[in-house]
Amino acid sequence: MSITVTTWSLEQTAVTDLRPAAEPADGFTIVRAEVPSPEFSRFLYTAVGGDIKWVDRLGMTYEAWERELNRPGTETWVAYDRGTPAGYVELQAQPGGSVEIVYFGLIPAFRGRRMGGPLLTYGTRRAWDLAERWPELPATERVWLHTCSLDGEHAMDNYVRRGFKLFATVEEQVAEVAAPGPWPGAF
């Protein structure tokens, strides 16, 4: 059986496009995972995307995860609520001064608690200043991402509220997949 999925691509083309969210509540912190870890990244990926059908990385080998995470200009920023992982942003430098927000989201138990705006604000700032941490890369001239109709119900609104502008829309028929959950059989 197939379903129609709409994918929207959004971008910021100047650092001044960013419209920050309100400051997060006490106990909310965001820390860069400076040591690339396929195990931790796969945990974040499945914990955040398991109920919204993120499946594109599930078949990747350990070595493929290592390659992705060790690409110059790839960073993982993790949100914590009083020490517990709550969500993450994965950034990836692209040619020509573009930085893609490859993955962004919150673990289901942390959604609806006003953490998405602050996490997206922080992740977008880190995309804009990526070259400060990676001097071999050009300065960021564009930050972009995509979201789709399978993502969380507040995703698009959060992106627009942070100043991202729509530049492309694609609709396609895809095979319907069951939500894999953060571990097999969780949902």
Tell me, what's the pLDDT at 99?
98
pTM check: above 0.75: yes
Q: The tokens 């200009």 sit on which residue?
A: 73
Q: The tokens 């059986």 sit on which residue?
A: 1
CA angle 128, 132, 135 (to 5 degrees): 120
Tell me, what's the pLDDT at 145?
98
Query: 141 forms bridges with which residues in the sheet?
Result: none
| CATH H superfamily, domain 2-175 | Gcn5-related N-acetyltransferase (GNAT) (3.40.630.30)
Residue pLDDT, tens place only, 102-138: 999 999 999 989 999 999 999 999 999 999 999 999 9
